[in-house]
A and B are shown apart, each in its own frame.
Chain A
Amino acid sequence: MDQGPGKARVNRRQFLKLLGTVGAAAAAAPLLPSLLTKVGVVAAQGSADESAPRRQWAMVFDLRKCEGCVTTDKPPQCIEGCNTEHFVPKGQEWIRVFEMEGAAGHASFFPRPCMQCENPPCVNVCPVGATYRTEEGITLINHERCIGCRMCMAACPYGVRVFNWGDPENPAGATFASYSPQYPVPHRRGTVEKCMLCAHRVKDGKLPACAEACPMYAIYLGDFTQDIATNGKEVVKLSTFLADHSAFRLKEDLGTRPRVWYIPGHGQEYGHDINETRQPKPARTWQELGATLESPHGGHK
C-alpha cells in the first residue's frame, strides 16, 4: 500500500460503513411506509361524508327471479350493463353468470360479482396496498399503485379478479378522462381489475349498473346501516328480507364474510323450469354494444 495509513483507513472504513448502512436502509425502507400508515400520517383513500351515517353497502341477488336471461332471448343483461358502464376490457367479465347445479340436480343461474368481503383475502395479501377496503365496505383497486404481481388473484377464493395482460382498449377520449379507483377508466396494462360495486354510482345515489340493467329486478342494492334495500322497483327492510328468504353467502365457511347475499331459487318467478336446458348467450363487449363515454349504454338499456 502506498497510501498513508490514515487515508487508507478512512477509505476502507467509510466504504464498509456505507455497505452496512445501505443494507440496513434497504431493509428498513419497506418497513417505514407501513409504520407510517399505522400512525395515520398517510391520508386514507376514499371519500367521507361526516354528517350522514356511514353506509355499509351490500348486494342481494334474488335467485327466484334470475333465470340467466334465457327467456329474454338476449345475453345476460347484468353483464352487458356492467360492460358498457365501465368499458370492461375485452375478455374480462367483472360480473359473471354461471350455472350452479342444485342438490337435486336442477340448474340455477348464479350471477357473481365481487363479494366485497369484510375480511378480504385480496386486501390482506397485496404487497403495496393497491387494493383497499373503504369504510363503506367496498373493496377498490388503485390502478396507479398496482404493480401487477397478481397475488390478490391467487388469494381470492371466488375468482372475481381479472388482469389486463395486454393493452386494454379504452373508449375514445378516455385517455383524458379523470381516473379514479371508483371509476377505473381508462384501464391500464399490467393491473388487476374487478367489480367495485359501481362505487361511482352508489356515491351519487344510483343503483349499480348490473342492478339497473336486470330486466327481472333480481339484483338489490342494500345498506346495512339503514337496514334497507331496493332493486329499483320495491323497497325492503334488508334484515327481514334476508332472514325471511333464508339468504346465504358463497363459501361462508372460509370466514371472508362477503357482503353479497343470495336468496335461493332458480328463476321460478319468471317461469324458469328446472328442466330448462337453454344456456345464456355470451355477453357482448362494450365495443359490440357501441358504448361511448358520452352514452355508456349506447342506446341499450
Chain B
Amino acid sequence: MSRWGIAALTATALLGALTLAVGAPQLAYAQGPEPVKIRVETVDSGFQCAPVSKNCLGEQSGDFVIEVAQGSLVELTFVWAHVGYFQEEHVMILEGYKLETDKLTREHPEATLKFIADKAGGFTFKCDLDCDVHDYLQRGHLKVGRGGGGGGAAVFTPTALSLTPSSWVTAGDPVSLTAVLKDAKGAPVPKAEVRFYVDASFVGTKGKMAIGTAKTDANGVAFLDYRPTLATRQQVIMAAFEGMGVYAESQGSIELQEVGVPPAAYTTAPIGLEVIRHWAPTALAAAVLSVWSVFGFVLYQAIGIARVSTRGGEK
C-alpha cells in the first residue's frame, strides 16, 4: 500500500564535509623517505628476483620471499619475463593490502604497486587472473617486519571522496550512488575499495550499517545501487575509503530524504495450496453435516414407527 507512489525521491544533496588527512596538514608525498624498490620477474617457473637484494630474498625453503620494514614506502614492480607461454597474461594481487596490478602481458610487461607497508605481518602476493599453470608457481610471500625502519614513517597522501546520488532517479527504483576518489593532486585513484554505510538505529542500538562495497574504476568512480529499506525519512549515507596502505582514509556523506514509506524488503511467501487450504474446512463441515442429516433421516424413520402405532389406535 505505502510505496513510493506518486512522491518521487528528492535527494537533497547536502554534501557533507569531505576529506581529512590523518593528523597534520603535511602533504609532501615527495618529501618522504626513499621508496624501497623491488623488482620481481614472472618467469616460466614462477617468480625471480631481478635483482636479488636485501629486500628481495628469492626462494627460501620453498617460499618466494620479499621483506620490507614496517612503515616504509614500497614500490613493487612485476615484470613479465616468460621464455615460453607467450600468450599468458597476469594480474598480480597483494592480499592483506588488497592491491592489484594492471594486466601484465607480453606487450605491457611492467606493472608497479606503490604502497606504504603500514601493516606488519606476512602477506601473500600471487597471480590472480589467467594464471593457468602458474596458479601455484606464481606465489610469493611479503614479510613486513614490525617496528619502524629507517627514518620516519612515510606519510599518507590525503584523498578526496565525494559522494552524490546519481543525477536521475526514478520513484520506486533503487538510488544510484556515485563516489569519486581523487588524490591530493586531483588524479583519480583506481581500483580502490569504497565502502558504503547508512546510519541506522534498531531496537536501541545505533550504528553504521554496511550497505555495500564498490571498486573505483580507472576514473576513480565507484557506483552502488542502494535500495532504501529503513523506515526513517532522512538517511545519512556515508562512503569510506581505507587508504590501501598508500593513502589517508577519507569519507564522504550525503543525506537522502524519502517521501513515503519504502516498500517492505520482504514479503512472506504463501505457504502453498492456498485454494485447497481455504476450502478444506468448509468441505469437512459439509461432509460432517451431511452425515448428521442422514442420522436425522434415520431418526425420522424411527419417529415414523411410533406414529404408525398411534395412528393405528390402541394396541
Contact = CB atoms under 8 A, between A and B. Distances in A.
Touch between A and B in complex, CB under 8 Å? yes
Given A27-B289, A225-B264, A207 B204 contact: yes
A31 B288 contact: yes
Contacts of B314: 1
A223 B264 CA distance: 10
A234 B199 CA distance: 11
A5 interface: yes
Interface string A109-152: 00000000011000000000000000001000000000000000
B200 A228 contact: yes
Contacts of B264: 53-54, 56, 224-225
Given A13-B307, A27-B289, A207-B203, A227 B265 contact: yes
Interface string A190-230: 00000000000010011100000000000001011111111
Nearest to B277: A124
Contacts of A278: none
A24 B315 contact: no
A228 B295 contact: no
B266 A56 contact: yes
A13 B313 CA distance: 16
Nearest to A224: B266
A20 interface: yes
A118 B202 contact: no
A232 interface: yes
B299 interface: yes
A56 B263 CA distance: 13
B202 A119 contact: no
Interface in A20-47: 20, 23-24, 27-28, 31, 34-35, 38
Contacts of B265: 224-227, 239
Nearest to B313: A5
Most B-side CB within 10 Å, residue of A17, A23, A35, A53: A53
B85 interface: no
A119 B229 contact: no
A54 B261 CA distance: 11
A119 B295 contact: no
A232 B205 CA distance: 6
Interface residues of B, number: 45
Contact of A237 (B205, B211, B289): B211
B202 A227 contact: no
A9 B229 contact: no
B225 to A, nearest CB: 13
Contact of B202 (A35, A54, A229): A229
Given A34-B281, A56-B268, A226-B229, A235 B202 contact: yes
A38 B292 contact: no
B193 to A, nearest CB: 15
A20 B281 contact: no
Contacts of B230: 226, 228
B210 A5 contact: no
A217 to B, nearest CB: 10
A52 interface: yes
A17 B203 contact: no
A233 B109 CA distance: 48
Interface string B256-271: 0000011011101101
Contact of A205 (B203, B269, B310): B203
A13 B305 CA distance: 10
A236 interface: yes
Interface in A37-83: 38, 52-54, 56
A279 interface: no
Interface in A214-265: 221, 223-237, 239-240, 257
A122 to B, nearest CB: 14
B314 to A, nearest CB: 6
Contact of A119 (B2, B262, B271): B271
A28 B285 CA distance: 8
A202 B203 contact: yes
Contact of B315 (A1, A207, A221): A1
Contacts of A27: 288-289, 292
A118 B268 contact: yes
A24 B299 CA distance: 12
Most A-side CB within 10 Å, residue of B205, B206, B210, B311: B205
A31 B306 CA distance: 32
A206 B205 CA distance: 9
A228 B303 CA distance: 70
Contact of A16 (B206, B207, B306): B306
Most B-side CB within 10 Å, residue of A34, A54, A226, A236: A226
9 contacts: A9-B306, A31-B288, A35-B281, A35-B282, A53-B262, A205-B204, A229-B202, A240-B210, A240-B211
Given A53-B261, A227-B266, 13 more contacts: A9-B306, A13-B306, A20-B296, A34-B285, A205-B204, A224-B265, A225-B266, A226-B265, A228-B229, A233-B207, A234-B205, A235-B202, A237-B211
Interface of B: 2, 200-212, 229-231, 261-262, 264-266, 268-269, 271, 281-282, 285, 288-289, 292-293, 295-296, 299-300, 302-303, 306-307, 310-311, 313-315
Leading 4 A-B pairs by shortest Cβ distance: A224-B266, A235-B207, A227-B229, A227-B265
